[in-house]
Amino acid sequence: MCGCSDLFDQVRLVYGPGMKRPFILSALVVVAVGCLALPASAAHGHDLTWRLSSTGSDARLRGLSVVSDKVVWASGSGGAVLRSIDGGRTWSRSSPPDTAALELRDVEAFDARTAVAMSIGPGDQSRLFRTNDGGAHWVEAYRNAEPTAFFDCMAFFDRQHGLVLSDPVDGKFRVLSTEDGGRSWAVLPTDRMPAALDGEFAFAASGQCVSVSGSRDAWIATGGGARARVLHSSDRGRSWTVGDTVLASNASAGVFATAFRDRDHGIAVGGDYAKPDGAVDALGTTRDGGRTWRKPASAPQGYRSGVTWYPFLPTVAVAVGPTGSDLTVDDGRTWRSFDKGSFDTVDCASDGSCWAAGEHGRVARLGF
């Protein structure tokens, strides 16, 4: 198990003398709050918490993409896409064409000007849009024509290669792929996709029911069936294997999100959204790429819909949900709550800045 002194050493080694001081301080506080047997307020004299940013929106924001310390995108109900290019001090809103009645449940951004947004719903309500001018104009890149398909989430390996997950069609999950940054999309063959269980689907709750690591590995999170499962692909979605998790599954429960820091180490979060205060079988960890899963010694006290690893510190992760946020500093073995606010999704940029988003236009930055 990684000790506190090990984590402090990681901060010193990874950041070095050239890293900006605010990121060094934030990493030290994250370690202190998670490691020390003290309340958060005793850690370096500060509270680790989410610092709300006023967006001027009442949309429920389930899509979130943090590009950098300055650039953040969020998407949600009523066709809303929000963007900040000044670290959350101000926000602009735009909507792709004809989306006022649609839910934009995911957004993936590459910089301040380029992003892909995804709407959900049966049939042609599931669509994909792209902008290259900061949201001033959007182009519809794909409109689903399959009546039984229902988009759930989206993830990109890099600026060119990405995947979109749909609920099962003809008994198998449907995956779309792009190789040109979201300008065009193609449905991948399903001959090497395991059959879906009866009632199995993916939850479009946080944009994290499909996640990626590196240039080729991807994971699908499921629920609704007899077992909550995670499917893994090592070839950008062409073929898949499947593993049963330790999370409970029913019509309102399962794995809602996964996060992998590399091709082996991952966290799955979920629970039952109909019982958000319930904490039974709501989190699992894996060390073998999702083939097997184990329960942690302690788990977040409630349903969690979003999870992300904290940059630079390989054993630190954050999970969020409508009843609060939780932190682990030991690879998911133990967790402690640090905030009671409601959020649906969470994301961190490679430079160390982390944000969460949720209902009533709530967007917040991890601070202290």
Q: What is the pLDDT of residue 46?
A: 47
Neighbouring-strand partners of residue 88 = none
- Residues 6 or more apart whose CB falls under 8 angstroms from that of 18 comprise none
Euclidean distance between the first and the last CA atom of the chain, given in angstroms as a whole number? 26
Q: What is the pLDDT of residue 5?
A: 52
Round to whole Å and give the CA distance between 77 and 80. 6
Q: How confident is the model at residue 14 (pLDDT cuts 50, 70, 90)?
A: very low
| pLDDT digits 0-9 by tens, 137-155 | 999 999 999 999 999 999 9
3-state secondary structure of 269: strand
3-state secondary structure of 225: coil
Q: What is the pLDDT of residue 285?
A: 98
Q: What is the pLDDT of residue 143?
A: 98
| pLDDT digits 0-9 by tens, 36-80 | 433 433 333 347 899 999 999 999 999 999 999 999 999 999 999
Whether the per-residue pLDDT at 9 is higher than 70: the answer is no
The residue ranking higher by pLDDT, 98 or 1, is 98
| pLDDT digits 0-9 by tens, 284-310 | 999 999 999 999 999 898 999 999 999
Q: How confident is the model at residue 34 (pLDDT cuts 50, 70, 90)?
A: low
Round to whole Å and give the CA distance between 232 and 217. 7
Round to whole Å and give the CA distance between 96 and 128. 9
- For residues 126 and 151, is the Cβ–Cβ distance under 8 A? yes
The residue ranking higher by pLDDT, 314 or 32, is 314
| pLDDT digits 0-9 by tens, 234-284 | 999 999 999 999 999 999 999 999 999 999 999 999 999 999 987 677 999
Tokens matching residue 17: 């003398």
- For residues 94 and 84, is the Cβ–Cβ distance under 8 A? no
| pLDDT digits 0-9 by tens, 164-208 | 999 999 999 999 999 999 999 999 999 999 999 999 999 999 999
Q: What is the pLDDT of residue 35?
A: 56
Q: What is the pLDDT of residue 31?
A: 58
Cα-only R_g, the chain: 19
CA-CA-CA-CA dihedral for 98, 102, 108, 112, to nearest 10: 50
> What percent of the chain is predicted at pLDDT more than 70?
87
3-state secondary structure of 270: strand
Domain ranges of the chain: 50-367
Q: What is the pLDDT of residue 76?
A: 98
How does 159-184 read in b/e, with b if 16+ C-beta sit within 10 Å? eebbbbbbbbbeeebbbbbbeebbee
Round to whole Å and give the CA distance between 330 and 313. 10
- For residues 295 and 284, is the Cβ–Cβ distance under 8 A? yes
Round to whole Å and give the CA distance between 189 and 182. 19
What Å distances lie between residue 355 and 85, 115, 137, 344, 358, CA to CA? Answer: 14, 17, 25, 11, 11
CATH of region 50-367: 2.130.10.10
Q: What is the pLDDT of residue 47?
A: 72
Q: How confident is the model at residue 1 (pLDDT cuts 50, 70, 90)?
A: very low
